[in-house]
Amino acid sequence: MDHDAVEIKGLSKHYGGLAALDNLSLDVKAGEILGYLGPNGSGKTTTIRLMLGMIKPTSGSVSIFGYDAQTQKDIVHTALAYVPGEANLWPSLTGIETLHLLSKVHGRVDLKYRKKLIQRFEFDPNRKVRTYSKGNKQKIALIAALASRAELLILDEPTSGLDPLMEQAFREAAVEAKNRGQTIFLSSHILGEVEALCDRIAVLRSGKLVELGTLEQMRHLSSLTIEASFKEHPPEVKHINGVSKVEINGNSLVCQINGPIDELLSVLAKAHPLTLISREPSLEELFLALYGRQTEAK
């Protein structure tokens, strides 16, 4: 395709004096899964509602597959499917009737795949919506979106309310969608989900994009954890540049290091370690480190 799946340029949304979103620029390549992270109120849902043309930007633009999300909604919406954070549906319809209605709304449906998804999500479609739990209502929105086989899936915390087994079912479906060439914009609070699925991650805070990149590119945000054990008392490492959070427990040492690691390795090697483990930060550690840093900066 000639265009990125999503191209956001200088997007801002202000409510009075409050900037819900501030000069956001971001692109999502066709066929990739972008994880969109941020604490509550950071502007994730605002971004999604702007992408869907449900609210108007104060400034900036969003284009989806090259079409303006505000002025060419009729074209844009034929190429996407959306799962809201909380599925509010029509209580008097049954699950299967709602799926039928949403397939008409999306304009297309892969019925065979929908049947497969119903089985995979262990969903009983014959009950009335008002009798479903939050998770089951969420399953309806998910099945409808996935079964549409839309080029772009915009998912706003799609697994909220789902149990771990169903989360796993969602991950399988998301991988299948990616393998088919579909693009996924995944807003989520579940860091394990983002870590497992996403090609790139965007982190939002107070309406501003604070990080964007692959997980590997973002590892620099947090320290490398080093664990070593020795025959005797561990060597002194506190003086080494970049070393922090040193914990000595008997003959074991745990510390973290930011920046070049050669000096620390040299000191540890001279003390003849019995074991030496280096561990990269998980997304959760990155996320916490990032927010910790931002809070300190504030």
Determine the Cα–Cα distance for residues 102 and 99; give it in Å rounded to an integer. 5
- Cα dihedral value 293, 45, 81, 51, nearest 10: -90
List 28, 81, 162, 173, residue binding another protein (CB under 8 A): 81
**Alpha-carbon torsion (209, 176, 181, 55), positive or negative:** negative
Residues 110 to 129 in contact with another protein, rule: CB under 8 A: 126-128
Residues 147 to 176 in contact with another protein, rule: CB under 8 A: 154
The stretch near another protein (CB under 8 A) out of 26-34, 91-99, 200-208, 229-237 is 91-99
Residues 25 to 64 in contact with another protein, rule: CB under 8 A: 49, 52, 54-56
Total binding residues for another protein by CB under 8 A? 38
Q: Is 96 a binder of another protein (CB under 8 A)?
A: yes
List 82, 121, 170, 287, residue binding another protein (CB under 8 A): 82
| CA-to-CA separations, 130 to 99, 136, 150, 251, in angstroms, rounded | 15, 10, 27, 60
Determine the Cα–Cα distance for residues 91 and 136; give it in Å rounded to an integer. 13
Written as six digits, the tokens of 179 are: 């393998």
List 9, 27, 60, 101, residue binding another protein (CB under 8 A): 101
Written as six digits, the tokens of 108 are: 């297309």
Written as six digits, the tokens of 247 are: 């914990």
Q: Is 105 a binder of another protein (CB under 8 A)?
A: yes
Q: Is 88 a binder of another protein (CB under 8 A)?
A: yes
Determine the Cα–Cα distance for residues 90 and 84; give it in Å rounded to an integer. 14
- State the residues that interact with another protein by CB under 8 A: 49, 52, 54-56, 73-74, 77-78, 80-82, 84, 86-94, 96-97, 100-102, 104-107, 126-128, 130-131, 141, 154
